[in-house]
């Protein structure tokens, strides 16, 4: 996969990495340009050149990874939606279709980060890392499905902590029988931050459930909005802190997401403009599919006889986290457990400190009463899980059994959501405007 920018001859930086076919294809226009077939041929050349670049770009971006075999599911979902309106199928297909898009989005963000330097790159990674979940949540928010937003974001945290980490520990432990070690202090600090973030998120819920609000129903909304603004400020500081003081950590996380090889090969595979264009197009595609996804949640829940809670907490986050999942497992199997931990816990912290407050603020702007009042069940489970995780990371070692336990705990959580229904099944969809 290592190849070089195609643009012109002076960018043939690492010729040793270029494969012969590409070289042959590249060589031709460059030579032509150099020996000057001027005006006419230049036009023709330009179109051909753009075509060549487009094809090459497509090749790198679209056809490079196996997961993109799922790509046709996206258009298939749209087709099925117009043909049959069978919500179950549309839901599943759009779910499958988003997975490769999310992964490619991560890849493209990665690539863009090369051009923007480490600071903005880290910021980019931090923001777009959970872009899929954010986009899905924004659509759900627009539809007024507040519970879906809350549950999918919470499920994303749970899935990161239990499933992704568990799979990473398990696979790494199977490859390295003796157990692996990781940097205890970084992991403990990250989990401590996560715990603080979760604590900040849970206060409105606790307020509500101890029936100690001044204006029942309204105070917690106000409190939620205030807490969200505070959390966003904390998040801003968190980013500054990470980027300024812990360049090493953020470098690890930056290069962690997509490059399988060793760290020193920071070569971008596509140009900056291509990256931006692809980013925009992927984001657009994800947005389109998310709309279908969100619109069909309720229908799918009825058609497949699965509670909405289960769909929101378990199925939606699997989609959003698929890329991080794969990369965490890959890094664990290469004995780079620190990166896996950084990915998993970092993603959870980002959702807790940025994703959820952002949705609350966005809901505020949209006029939706989105608040931080997760139901008691989810709140309790989230708190217990984060506490147990923080405790478990303290000894700095992992083995396959710990991974197995985490995965089994996730199974139990998933099973409990399968038999879970909201106590007051409030139709929180306002009449469609």
Nearer to another protein, 8 or 394 (CB): 394
Nearer to another protein, 49 or 400 (CB): 400
Nearer to another protein, 358 or 374 (CB): 374
Burial of 423 (0-12, 13-18, 19+ CB in 10 A): exposed
CB of 212 vs another protein, minimal distance in Å: 18
**Angle between the 356-366 and 219-245 helix axes, to the nearest 10 degrees?**
130
CB of 422 vs another protein, minimal distance in Å: 6
CB of 186 vs another protein, minimal distance in Å: 18
Close Cβ partners of 234 (under 8 Å, ≥ 6 residues apart): 197, 200, 353
Nearer to another protein, 344 or 406 (CB): 406
Token match 């969809």: residue?
429
Nearest in space to 204 (alpha carbons), one of 394, 10, 357: 357
CB of 388 vs another protein, minimal distance in Å: 5
Residue 179 — left, alpha, or beta (φ > 0 → left; ψ -120 to 50 → alpha)? left
3-state secondary structure 125-147: HHHHCCHHHHHHHHHHHHCCCHH
Nearer to another protein, 81 or 152 (CB): 152
CA distance 152 to 138: 11
* Lookup: tokens for 262: 């060793």
Strands 180-181 and 397-398 come out as: antiparallel
Nearer to another protein, 30 or 407 (CB): 407
Nearer to another protein, 13 or 387 (CB): 387
CA distance 257 to 323: 9
Nearest in space to 87 (alpha carbons), one of 251, 380, 242, 300: 300
Consecutive H or E run containing 44: helix 39-61
Q: For residues 330 and 131, is the Cβ–Cβ distance under 8 A? A: no
Token match 């179950």: residue?
88
CB of 427 vs another protein, minimal distance in Å: 17
CB of 148 vs another protein, minimal distance in Å: 16
CB of 352 vs another protein, minimal distance in Å: 19
Nearer to another protein, 351 or 413 (CB): 413
How far CA 322 is from CA of 226, 286, 354, in Å, comes to 32, 14, 20
CB of 209 vs another protein, minimal distance in Å: 9
Consecutive H or E run containing 62: none
Measured in degrees and rounded to the nearest 5, phi and psi for residue 134 equal: -65, -40
Nearer to another protein, 243 or 313 (CB): 313
| Contact residues for another protein, defined by CB under 8 A | 177-179, 307, 375-377, 380-381, 384-385, 387-388, 391-392, 394-395, 397, 399-402, 404-406, 408-409, 411-413, 415-416, 418-423
CB of 426 vs another protein, minimal distance in Å: 13
């Amino acid at each position: 996969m290592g190849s070089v920018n195609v643009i012109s001859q002076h960018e043939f930086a690492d010729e040793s990495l270029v494969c012969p076919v590409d070289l042959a294809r590249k060589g031709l226009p460059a030579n032509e340009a150099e020996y000057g077939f001027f005006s006419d041929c230049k036009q023709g050349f330009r179109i051909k050149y753009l075509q060549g670049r487009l094809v090459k770009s497509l090749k790198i971006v679209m056809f490079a990874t196996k997961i993109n075999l799922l790509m046709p599911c996206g258009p298939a979902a749209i087709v099925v939606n117009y043909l049959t309106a069978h919500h179950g199928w549309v839901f599943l297909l759009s779910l499958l279709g988003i997975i490769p898009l999310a992964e490619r989005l991560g890849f493209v963000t990665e690539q863009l980060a090369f051009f923007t330097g480490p600071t903005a790159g880290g910021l980019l990674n931090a923001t777009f890392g959970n872009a899929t979940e954010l986009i899905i949540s924004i659509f759900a928010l627009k539809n007024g499905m507040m519970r879906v937003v809350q549950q999918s974001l919470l499920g994303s945290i749970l899935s990161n902590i239990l499933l992704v980490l568990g799979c990473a520990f398990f696979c790494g432990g199977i490859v390295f029988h003796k157990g692996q070690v990781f940097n205890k202090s970084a992991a403990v600090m990250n989990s401590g931050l996560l715990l603080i973030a979760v604590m900040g998120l849970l206060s409105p819920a606790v307020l509500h459930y101890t029936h100690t609000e001044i204006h029942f129903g309204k105070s917690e909304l106000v409190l939620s909005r205030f807490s969200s603004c505070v959390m966003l400020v904390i998040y801003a500081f968190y980013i500054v802190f990470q980027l300024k003081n812990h360049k090493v950590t953020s470098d690890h996380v930056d290069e962690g997401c997509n490059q399988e090889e060793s760290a020193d090969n920071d070569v971008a595979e596509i140009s900056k403009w291509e990256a931006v264009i692809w980013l925009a197009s992927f984001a657009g595609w994800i947005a389109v599919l998310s709309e279908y996804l969100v619109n069909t949640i309720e229908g799918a829940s009825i058609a497949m006889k699965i509670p909405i809670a289960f769909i929101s907490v378990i199925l939606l986050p699997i989609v959003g986290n698929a890329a991080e999942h794969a990369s965490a497992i890959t890094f664990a199997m290469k004995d780079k457990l620190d990166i896996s931990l950084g990915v998993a816990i970092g993603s959870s912290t980002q959702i807790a400190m940025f994703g959820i407050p952002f949705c609350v603020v966005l809901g505020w702007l949209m006029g939706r009463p989105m608040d931080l009042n997760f139901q008691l069940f989810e709140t309790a489970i989230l708190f217990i899980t984060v506490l147990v995780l923080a405790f478990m990371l303290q000894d700095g070692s992992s083995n396959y059994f710990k991974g197995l336990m985490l995965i089994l705990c996730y199974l139990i959580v998933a099973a409990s959501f399968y038999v879970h229904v909201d106590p007051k099944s409030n139709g929180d969809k306002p009449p469609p405007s």
